[in-house]
Amino acid sequence: MSGTSQKYRNFVAEPMGDKPVTDLAGIGETLGGRLIEAGFDKAYTVLGQYLVLKKDEELFKEWMKDTCNASSKQASDCYNCLNDWCEEFL
């Protein structure tokens, strides 16, 4: 696993279910609020965008920056979280 935060480990350790978008690594209250305003209120909706972008790291990071003004680190943390979750559960 490429992430090390407790939030990351918690997310990747179990099925996603209806977790809020703020449970994703790299997404705090501010970015979470921006994502919710853009229609991405649950972690699975962000996963859907990740899959629509064919798991492409650069495209996903650009989408994160454009959609919620994520920093490179925040976008990377979220990408790694979703990527590793997919490796575990898909």
Give the mean pLDDT of 50-60: 98
CATH code assigned at 78: 1.10.150.40
* pLDDT of res. 63: 98
Q: Are 8 and 25 in contact (CB under 8 A)?
A: yes
> Is the pTM of the predicted complex or chain greater than 0.85?
yes
What's the confidence (pLDDT) of residue 57?
98
Task: Provide the percentage of residues in the chain whose pLDDT is more than 90.
Answer: 93
- Average per-residue pLDDT in the chain? 95
- Residue 11's identity, in one-letter code, is F
With contact defined as beta carbons under 8 Å apart, do 41 and 20 qualify?
yes
Q: Which domain holds residue 62?
A: 4-87
The pLDDT of 6-27, averaged and rounded, is 95
pLDDT at 68 > cutoff 60: yes
Burial of 79 per CB tally in 10 Å (0-12, 13-18, 19+) = buried
38, burial (CB in 10 Å: exposed 0-12, middle 13-18, buried 19+): middle
When divided into structural domains, the chain yields a total of 1
What integer pLDDT is reported at residue 1 of this predicted model? Answer: 46
What is the pLDDT averaged over residues 31-60? 98
